[in-house]
Structure 1
């Protein structure tokens, strides 16, 4: 999934699994961090996310991102984008 604009995010939102929505809710609750890079790793409550494919898809779809740019071995708080917030409302 690539980010090609708002239309892509809306299509992805309609196809989210329960697990993907749970990940977004964890991010919204301030429980998640991501690493830097084009395929960032997601951590929830300090532990690696059990489904990195879901987290990669959510990042690529533009539903979540890091709060700031960090290196590959660094973490930053994960935050929802507007589309990510819409996906769980």
Structure 2
């Protein structure tokens, strides 16, 4: 997927890298940046399915936890 990342997806990954994002611990994770829901949840879920971001910790399903980049996510930003 990293060959096809648009500006919005890259901005989401940069927010995760900066420690400004949270995701839900669910099969279809939602993303918040700076406490606000991301405007493109479909893109956020695609980034998670592509293995570019993930929850930084485990918690009860549906809980909000910090998001982190995976090695693939860091490579996509490099």
Give the TM interval when normalised to the shorter protein. over 0.9
Residues in 2 aligned to 1:14 and 1:64: alpha-carbon distance in whole angstroms: 16
Aligned match of 2:60: 71
Q: Which of 7, 22, 29 is the equivalent residue of 1:18? A: 7
Q: Which of 26, 37, 41 is the equivalent residue of 1:48? A: 37
Q: Give the RMSD, CA atoms, in angstroms.
A: 0.9
Which sections of structure 2, spanning at least 5 residues, go unmatched?
Answer: none
Q: 1:34–1:40: 8 Å Cα contact kept in structure 2?
A: yes
Structure 2 length-normalised TM: 0.95
Aligned-pair distance for 1:69?
1.8
User: Any runs of at least 4 consecutive aligned residues in structure 1 with deviations exceeding 2 A, and if so which?
Assistant: 70-73
Larger radius of gyration: 1
Q: Which of 40, 47, 52 is the equivalent residue of 1:58? A: 47
Residues in 2 aligned to 1:73 and 1:28: alpha-carbon distance in whole angstroms: 22
Q: 1:35–1:71: 8 Å Cα contact kept in structure 2?
A: no
Aligned-pair distance for 1:43?
0.4
Which sections of structure 1, spanning at least 5 residues, go unmatched?
Answer: 1-11
